[in-house]
Amino acid sequence: MKRDLVTVLDLKDELKDIIDLAIKMKAENKRGEDVASFKGKALALIFEKPSLRTRVSFEVGFNQLGGYALYLSPSEIQVGKRESVHDVAKVLSRFADVIMYRAFDHQNVLELARHAGVPVINGLDDIEHPCQAVADFMTMREVKGVLMGRTLAWVGDGNNVLHSLLLGAAILGMNVKAACPGGYRPRSDILDMALSIARGSGSRIEVMDDPIEAVTDADVVYADTFISMGDEAQKEERLRAFTGYQVNMGLFSRARSDAIFMHCLPAHRGEEVTDEVMDSPRSVVFQEAENRMHAQKAIMVRLAGFR
Catalytic residues: 102, 129, 132, 224, 264, 292
Bridge partners of residue 269, in order along the sequence: 273
Q: Sheet with 220-223: list strands edge to edge.
A: 205-208, 175-179, 151-155, 220-223, 260-263
Decide: residue 248, CB within 10 A, 0-12 exposed, 13-18 middle, 19+ buried: middle
Cβ partners under 8 Å of residue 100, min gap 6 = 43, 44, 45, 46, 54, 58, 120, 121, 123
**Main-chain phi, psi angles of 156, to 5 degrees:** 140, -145
Question: How far is the first Cα of the chain from the last one, in angstroms, to the nearest whole number?
Answer: 15
DSSP-assigned states of every residue in 209-247: S-HHHHHTT-SEEEE--SS-TT-GGGHHHHHHHTTT--B
Q: What is the DSSP letter of 257?
A: T
Task: State the sign of the Cα–Cα–Cα–Cα dihedral 54, 60, 63, 68.
Answer: positive
